Amino acid sequence: MDSADANQDATPKRRVILLGSERRPEVLHEAERLKPLVEDCAEVVGTDFSFSQDLSSLQADLAIVLGGDGSILRAAHQMGRQQLPTIAVNLGKVGFLADISPDELPHVLREFCAGRLSVVEHLMFECCVLREGAEPREELGLNEVAVQAGPPFAIVDIDLYVDSELVTTYSCDGLIVCTPVGSTAHSLSAGGPILRKDLQAFVISPISPHTLTNRPVVDSADRVYEMVVAGPRDDTSVVVDGRVLSTLAPGDRVRVKRAAARFKLVAAPGHSYYRTLREKLGWSGRLKFA
């Protein structure tokens, strides 16, 4: 055995955790099929297919998530402020983040373990609901914060402040503050722009604004954003990455700012930003006639 082979054998294997949703039978099937292939070049130190474990203190080098973008969001929440590099394997429908196929995983993993792939860090945020006389309610997020009117689904007035300066009062069904990663989610459905995922910015998108001149705004991630609903309804809520953080009372302030943590996505070869948009959004570049 030459010295190069000896050094390679002496290098400890990367420690990997496998994540996904057991509610989807194909996830468990693919995990069972792929695990031996993963173990060829890495050590599997944990699995969680119920999204129930706290992963913030787990000693690992990499997370492999099987599923769709929803599974990626749940995994990011599990990792908390100790984000691991993540390989996202698409078993969902669209998958802007989870964009490699199961058959690509062994090659991508080998390339990562050999140090030949980069890790792209993405903006995350901290959302805090401030209420006088109560402990703040806080949540780390990756996609978006949405203040939603709730039943009986009438328009509400939402004041937006940026760095403590009043920007405007939106009369709308809700207001979204999202990251570039979240710009292809709820914000896009509300008419917001698509931001390149590594930009350091937030998008503010009103949902069905009463004033047609209210349009989405893009601003720096270094600013602090606050939303206040003067007259919330019983079910007016703050929703972080699809999960209700809190209902709102009069005087509550919803504060959104850049988090110290970053979501770390392994850049798979051959999966560029614009290729993903073309394939996921069906951008063909020409009209098709029957």
226, amino acid identity: E
Please tell me the least confidently modeled range out of 39-43, 86-90, 93-97, 125-129: 93-97
Name the CA radius of gyration of the chain, rounded.
21
Burial class (CB in 10 A: 0-12, 13-18, 19+), 115: exposed
How are beta strands 14-20 and 62-67 bridged, if at all? parallel
Question: Does domain 123-261 bear CATH number 2.60.200.30?
Answer: yes
**The CATH classification of domain 8-118+267-281, taken from the options 3.40.50.300, 3.40.50.10330, 3.40.50.2300, 3.55.50.30:** 3.40.50.10330
8-118+267-281 and 123-261, same CATH topology: no
Q: Where are the domains of the chain?
A: 8-118+267-281, 123-261
CB 11 within 8 A of CB 23: no
As a whole number of angstroms, the distance between CA 202 and CA 199 comes to 9
**Predicted pLDDT of residue 289:** 53
148, amino acid identity: Q
Mean pLDDT of the chain: 91
CB 231 within 8 A of CB 156: yes
Say whether 152 sits in a helix, a strand or coil.
coil
Catalytic residue selected from 9, 48, 54, 69: 69
Q: Using 50, 70 and 90 to split pLDDT, how confident is the model at 63?
A: very high
Judge whether 69 counts as a catalytic residue.
yes
> H or E stretch including 106?
helix 105-113
**Predicted pLDDT of residue 9:** 55
Give per-residue pLDDT as tens, 27-52. Answer: 999 999 999 999 999 999 999 999 99
Q: Interior CA angle at 177 toward 171 and 180, to 5°?
A: 140
**Predicted pLDDT of residue 4:** 47
How are beta strands 86-90 and 119-130 bridged, if at all? unpaired
**Predicted pLDDT of residue 286:** 60
* Of 162, 146, 166, residue with least CA distance to 246: 146
Q: Using 50, 70 and 90 to split pLDDT, how confident is the model at 268?
A: confident
